Amino acid sequence: MADVDVAPTPRPGADPSSGTAPSSGPASPQKTIVVSGIQPSGTLHLGNYFGAIRQHIALHTRHEAYYFIVNYHALTTVRDRDALERYTLDVALDYLALGFDPNAATLFVQSDVPEVTELAWIFYTLTPVAQLEKGVSYKDKIAQGLSPNAGLFNYPILQAADILIYGGTLVPVGADQKQHIEITRDTAQRFNQTYASPDDPIFPMPEPYILDDVAVVPGIDGRKMSKSYGNTIGIFDEGKTLKKKVMSIVTDSTPLEAPKDPERCNVFALIKLFASEERREEIAAKYRAGGYGYGHAKKELYEMISDFFAEARERRRELARHPDDVRDILREGGRRAREQAAPYMERARRAVGLITTY
């Protein structure tokens, strides 16, 4: 794991540091280039926020960063054109509302840099099928008795291209992406070994950046919060919707008067993510003392979530009124990303012997 620290749970978008415009062109080897892809697969939830988004936001003003909405990847599962368009723009709104500063870093749509699929093709030709057969999401599909499409099979290699085409060196992701980053590293090494001289590699070796302590955010049924379990609380849920979800978090049947163990409670696990250390201790003490019910804890949690995302919610409403501005931001991001990708792509094409005659 890379040695970078992220401040604990700042409010989204709080205290935005003044941005510096990212420079273009290939990076010098020691410069940190942060890259990460975001799935446009529907409403982002608290698991996404504490698993990845928070790190994305924390890192994007400290280094040169490229974040992209992975609509090519989404095509492996989404079959609805309108939904894909909507989800893509929604993720942009979400990130901007949560504090992404487009003057400090680059946010764009993956398919605005179509060269990434070209690089993926070059990588396919170097990748043993046996390695992709070990892919976890691919194996999952097989285990479920589904027949995965070739896009899903090749998904990790497109992800490798995503990272390497910008010279990415640091990849903030959730713990479930470990394998994909390893495949990316193997791919970089294979490419460099085959086509570059050892003292002048074409692609730098990326490092994953995974925060272990927030690996699991429980959903309302107590299992890991995940869209596929239908147990999520949305980042932008509010009012009645939010209250209903929080109130339905599964707890045991310890009576109100009895002392409770906070560490065995799903509500407390979520409270921990939002509360200051002091507040956390206060609430834990109330659990242990008895006379404090799960209903009390839920009410507390509801208020914490409402409050934590209040400004982001307001910003999102404002941004949603100006969809053209959001498109402009993405367009400019795509332009910068293409500029960053160009020299890597150029070197890669030349290295493998693809001549250009146009």
Applying CB under 6 A, which residues contact ligand TRP? 35-37, 39, 70, 73, 159, 162-163, 171, 173, 177, 180
Name which of 163 and 330 has its Cβ closer to ligand TRP: 163
As a whole number of angstroms, the distance between CA 215 and CA 101 comes to 26
Name which of 36 and 88 has its Cβ closer to ligand TRP: 36
User: In angstroms, what is the minimal distance from the CB of 233 to ligand TRP?
Assistant: 19
Name which of 105 and 271 has its Cβ closer to ligand TRP: 105
Name which of 71 and 266 has its Cβ closer to ligand TRP: 71
User: In angstroms, what is the minimal distance from the CB of 159 to ligand TRP?
Assistant: 4
As a whole number of angstroms, the distance between CA 104 and CA 16 comes to 10
Identify the three-state secondary structure at position 264.
helix
Name which of 163 and 220 has its Cβ closer to ligand TRP: 163
Alpha-carbon torsion (268, 273, 278, 279), positive or negative: negative
User: In angstroms, what is the minimal distance from the CB of 48 to ligand TRP?
Assistant: 9
Look up 31 and say whether it is catalytic: no
Helix/strand number for the chain, H first, E second: 15, 5
Residue of 31, 134, 139, 141 marked active site: 141
Look up 224 and say whether it is catalytic: yes
As a whole number of angstroms, the distance between CA 221 and CA 219 comes to 5
As a whole number of angstroms, the distance between CA 226 and CA 220 comes to 10
Residue tagged 């074409």 (tokens)? 202
* Those residues with Cβ within 8 angstroms of residue 296's Cβ, 6 or more apart along the chain or in another chain: 286
Residue of 31, 134, 224, 260 marked active site: 224
Measured CA angle at 23 (ends 171, 324), to 5 deg: 85
Residue of 31, 134, 178, 227 marked active site: 227
Alpha-carbon torsion (213, 216, 217, 222), positive or negative: negative
Are 301 and 243 in contact by the 8 Å Cβ rule? The answer is no
Sheet architecture: strand order including 64-69 = 106-109, 64-69, 33-38, 170-172, 207-209
User: In angstroms, what is the minimal distance from the CB of 277 to ligand TRP?
Assistant: 30
User: In angstroms, what is the minimal distance from the CB of 126 to ligand TRP?
Assistant: 18
As a whole number of angstroms, the distance between CA 206 and CA 122 comes to 18
Residue nearest to ligand TRP (CB): 37
User: In angstroms, what is the minimal distance from the CB of 37 to ligand TRP?
Assistant: 3
CB count within 10 Å of CB 108 equals 23
Q: What backbone phi and psi angles, to 5 degrees, belong to 138?
A: -65, -45
Percent helix, strand, coil in the chain, to 5, is: 55, 5, 40
Name which of 177 and 266 has its Cβ closer to ligand TRP: 177
Look up 141 and say whether it is catalytic: yes
Are 170 and 34 in contact by the 8 Å Cβ rule? The answer is yes
User: In angstroms, what is the minimal distance from the CB of 253 to ligand TRP?
Assistant: 37
Name which of 154 and 159 has its Cβ closer to ligand TRP: 159
Which residues are tagged catalytic? 141, 224, 227
